[in-house]
Structure 1
């Protein structure tokens, strides 16, 4: 399977990126905001939803190391994240954009456990890129309502 590279330049593009990073696991210490460059970056182990899963009897799931970054970030607000716990692992559930003064708005990263990051952005510009080969994941993530 080829490595994934996606760009998001509007709300619809961001929805596609969100699907591909759903259930990614991210260490708090792997989130970086470069205030001077107005860039927020997350290193993650994303679940490869696009990978074939094999036969019914021989299911094979994969994860890939990836980087997701957002440009034009003016401010970052966190709810439920402690910068003192750099090894804490978060599970990313979704990304959504709320326009405010188009093209500006807020990009919200929703994590399991009522945790969220809010990025105040001048515009939507994001890139997702896999960094290397996949490895086998023990199971497919499941969601309970």
Structure 2
């Protein structure tokens, strides 16, 4: 008998996830919610048809365990990669200001006519990145050890 994976199954191991459909992408979206990144950590590699972002994400999969044990909230650097990219557009993102820090609110899928469509990264402050893709393929991989979030708190959406 097989069971679905649970957040607890990940433990302290780094995440390495892929999304090939809209349902999978919802999992990645939940894990990168409130991730922050400097605008300088976005790379569009046209020749490789790849959009990559180095993000500092909340370790949502560890939040309940941290609360129970009294540990502070942790973040981890992760690479969010969108493959099969035909083009990238943005709204409300000033790439010329190298000090700009972006916050990801959600990652969503807008299906096209066939396997094509758009991967949309909704950002705080009415910003967005939109990658036109030939087919949905998104990856999320932790690349550092977790670290204590500088604020030591979860993001507050009521403020």
TM-score (normalizing by structure 2): 0.86
Asked if residue 72 in structure 1 is aligned to residue 80 in structure 2, the reply is no
Q: Are positions 1:128 and 2:140 aligned together?
A: yes
Tell me by how many angstroms 1:126 deviates: 1.1
| Structure 1 segment 1-145 matched on structure 2, within 5 A | 1-51=12-62, 52-55=65-68, 58-137=70-149, 138-144=152-158
Residues 3-32 of structure 1: per-residue CA shift (max 9 Å, x gap): 111001111111110000000001100000
Query: Secondary structure of 2:37's match?
Result: strand
2: CA distance between counterparts of 1:39 and 1:16? 20
Cα distance in 1 between the residues matched to 2:41 and 2:73: 23
Q: Shift of the alpha carbon at 1:55?
A: 2.8
More strand as a share of residues: 1
Q: CA RMSD in A?
A: 1.3
TM-score (norm 1): 0.94
Alpha-carbon deviation of 1:45? 0.5
| Number of equivalenced pairs | 144
Structure 2: gaps of 5 or more residues: 1-11
Encode CA deviations 1:53-107: one digit per residue, 9 max, x unaligned. 2337x25210001101011111111001111112210110000001012210011
